[in-house]
Copies of this chain bind each other. A is one copy, B any other.
Amino acid sequence: MMELTRKGEYAIRGIVYLAGKPLDKVCLLSDIAAAVDVPPTFLAKIFQQFSKIGLVKSFRGTGGGFMLGREPENITLLEVVEAVEGPIMPNRCVAAPTDCERSGFCNVHPVWRRVQGEVRSVLGGVTLKELSAAK
């Protein structure tokens, strides 16, 4: 339970790398993948998703590549993680309480809602700017 997938891990590595570059710098996928040690074909898929929702901008053809879609101080880790993993969802009843007919009298249900809230709060409090900053 509760474990980030490789896809999620790779996504974060890739987008944090972009966040560390100037906003107008176009980066080659192959360079990014090599720098953050991720299979290039896999990262390609991830960035395609990100491109659709504007998290990154992509440019095709010669001289093409990727750059961050917005200022890194305006993108939270929560946004990145949910984009690639789906909503933070400790238990399915958090999304769809009606799916479980026990949710009406279940004392566990609210606990999962709290867990969701805490996780979202931590991830939502961290921006790509902070993550890309050198220590």
Number of interface residues, chain A, beta carbon within 8 A: 40
* Closest residue on chain B to residue A89 by CB atoms: B3
Contact assessment for A4 and B91 in the assembled complex, using a CB-CB cutoff below 8 Å: yes
Measured CB to CB, the closest approach of chain B to A62, in angstroms, equals: 32
Bitwise, A124-135 to B at CB < 8 A (1) or not (0) is 001000111111
Contact assessment for B8 and A1 in the assembled complex, using a CB-CB cutoff below 8 Å: yes
The CA-CA distance from A4 to B93 in the complex, in Å, is 10
**Additional 15 contacts, C-beta under 8 A, given A1-B5, A1-B86, A77-B108:** A1-B4, A1-B8, A1-B81, A1-B85, A4-B91, A9-B91, A16-B107, A105-B134, A107-B132, A107-B135, A115-B122, A115-B123, A118-B118, A118-B119, A118-B122
